[in-house]
A and B are shown apart, each in its own frame.
Chain A
Amino acid sequence: MTIADTAAGATADATGSGAPALSGAPALHFAGVRKRFRDGTVALTDTDLTIRPGEFVSIVGPSGCGKSTLLRIASGLDEATDGTVDVASKNVGYVFQDATLLPWRNVRDNVRLFAELEHLDSVERGRRVADAISLVGLAGFEEHLPHELSGGMRMRTSLARSLVLDPSIFLFDEPFGALDEITRERLNDELLRMFMLRRFAALFITHSVAEAVFLSTRVVVMSGRPGRVKADLAVPFDYPRSPHLRYSAEFAALCGEVSHHLRSES
């Protein structure tokens, strides 16, 4: 099945059902994954993690604990040294830490890139590009070049580029880490809006505990190098989540719990 077919199927699913589907086969499954680099550093050891369709899972952990490596393995950019990785769909979106836009392409042409690489036909491509651009709130900025955009807008363009393929699994590698607090919170709100619209399974890496709790159905805490899963906490808040959730006592308590796990030795 081509990616275009998968994407069309996923769209039909998303418009058909109401609440997130938390059952069924895992979207993403890591079993006993270990990663040892050529220089001998062990980045990951005995990592088990399952993400089911409709789940939004965030990973927090100290720098160098192999969080990014986990995403790179899931996307096929890297291979695991040991263990198995099952990815349910070939249609995986990947948003990097940097927006990595092609500087000679304007917003529209950057958003179109993946659709070109996957050989979508031009009518379908045009429709999806326009949809994605309006979904990330960049309508009217199609002709702008990356160097004319703010950091937040560059990241929106990067999101739109992946949204065009309507992936059923989305990998985020600290996408908002370089943005200011206000822009980051706004993009968090919008990311959740996209999550409810498109119903992808998400694996999201961040350094911010609050961001992890605000976005996720589950927060996974990883240990320092070599990385492995140290704690796995469910987040009980319903979607849609209001920005005011960030100021509630329950939210603060859960953030405290995640921080505690981050700091604990074992």
Chain B
Amino acid sequence: MSVTVPSAVETDATGDAAAATPAIGATPPRPRSRRRGAGLVSFVLLPGAVFAVFIGIWYAVSDGVLNDQQRFMLPPPHEVVRVGFLDWSNFTTMMSALRLTCEVTFAGLAISIVIGVTVAVAMSQARWIENSLYPWAVVIQTVPILALTPVLSFFFGFALTSRIIVCVIIAFFPIVSNTLFGLQSVDRGMHELFSLHHTSRLTRLWKLQLPAALPSMFTGFRNAAGLSVIGAIVGEFFFKQGEPGLGTNLSVFTSRLEGERLWATTLTASLLGVAVFVFFGWLARRVVGRWYQPKRG
């Protein structure tokens, strides 16, 4: 029997590979480009409208509801901008506080990511580790920070270290839960690919589970980033020794009834939270956006 084998190229030219080429050719119809057209309305005009309503309510409360003696609680927006941001000495004070809060935030977030991912990986390796640790991860996040302050100050003092620890306590849980969820949600069929080749745990973790978990890990990082700003400010609120951060100033301005600077500091803290949140969204798209499209709606 003579066996003639048609060449791969010949078959391919008429094959479904060729038929499918237009779909992945020069200009694939990407759902994203359609959304970008509608982006102006959804991402600029709609939030802008909400902002305008928000400022309107602010003025209404400040000028309409509060009398002259009460107005320090909520000064009108233009006063907040004038005193809080446009006064040079106030502004530089705030910027140095912002720098310090950023340091606490990023240190706390970095430590949270290292601890959170490590704990989640350990939990994913054995059910008994998960059962032993997970309840305590939940408990740590629900303990009132107020109750911990005396203990923390006893061991770590009233300065930077304690602030960072508060930040970690507040921020690390979403990293643990999202990373663990990602590691455990890997498709069974994909696991079997690795089982067929008797793959070691480490290889399976490195080549399958961690890459597959990246999208949920980034969700965790992003939520933790927002929380670590809150954590840094709460930490600074309680531990006031050393250079002041935004949280320290919040407490100072509250006690001095300096409403304008209090609200300017509050806005700055929120903007920092938004900035880190947006940054992690961008980073996630850079790292996994090529292959992972989150389902919308």
User: Which A positions have Cβ atoms within 8 angstroms of B?
Assistant: 18-19, 75-77, 92, 94, 96, 98, 100, 102-104, 113-114, 116-118, 134-139, 141, 144-150, 152-153, 156, 182-183, 186-187, 189-190, 193, 196-197, 238-240
Contact = CB atoms under 8 A, between A and B. Distances in A.
Contacts of A150: 16, 19-20, 23
A150 B293 CA distance: 17
A104 B288 contact: yes
A118 B16 contact: no
B187 interface: yes
Given A117-B197, A149-B24, A238-B1, A137 B291 contact: no
Contact of A18 (B3, B4, B190): B3
Given A76-B196, A137-B17, A153-B16, A100 B190 contact: yes
Interface string B182-205: 000001011011111101000100
B199 A117 contact: yes
A262 B43 CA distance: 59
Contact of A190 (B11, B187, B190, B290): B11
Given A19-B1, A102-B211, A152-B20, A117 B8 contact: no
A19 B189 CA distance: 36
A75 B290 contact: no
A239 to B, nearest CB: 7
**Residue in A94, A102, A139, A146 with the greatest tally of chain B CB atoms within 10 Å:** A102
Contacts, number: 103
Nearest to A144: B24
B5 A193 contact: yes
A77 B291 contact: no
7 contacts: A104-B214, A117-B194, A137-B9, A139-B9, A146-B291, A150-B20, A193-B11
B25 to A, nearest CB: 10
B8 A196 contact: no
Interface residues of B, number: 38
B12 interface: yes
B292 A103 contact: yes
A18 B292 CA distance: 47
B207 interface: yes
Contact of B20 (A114, A139, A153, A196): A153
Contacts of A104: 211-212, 214, 288, 290-292
Nearest to B199: A117
**Residue in B8, B20, B195 with the greatest tally of chain A CB atoms within 10 Å:** B8
B6 interface: yes
A196 B8 CA distance: 13
A20 to B, nearest CB: 9
Interface of B: 1, 3-6, 8-9, 11-12, 15-17, 19-20, 23-24, 28, 187, 189-190, 192-197, 199, 203, 207-208, 211-212, 214, 288, 290-293
What are the 4 A-B residue pairs with the smallest beta carbon separation, nearest first? A137-B12, A150-B20, A117-B197, A152-B16
Contacts of A100: 187, 189-190, 192-193
Contacts of A98: 189
A18 B187 CA distance: 42
B203 A102 contact: no
A75 B189 CA distance: 14
Contact of B16 (A92, A116, A182): A182
Nearest to B12: A137
A112 B199 CA distance: 15
Contacts of B292: 103-104
**Residue in B17, B194, B211 with the greatest tally of chain A CB atoms within 10 Å:** B17
B195 A77 contact: yes
Contacts of A76: 196
A241 to B, nearest CB: 11
A239 B16 contact: no
**Residue in A76, A135, A182, A186 with the greatest tally of chain B CB atoms within 10 Å:** A186
A96 B288 contact: no
Contacts of B8: 134-137, 139, 193
A164 to B, nearest CB: 12
A75 B196 contact: yes
B17 A148 contact: no
Given A102-B212, A103-B292, 15 more contacts: A19-B3, A76-B196, A100-B193, A102-B211, A114-B197, A117-B194, A137-B15, A144-B24, A149-B20, A149-B24, A150-B23, A193-B5, A193-B8, A193-B11, A239-B1
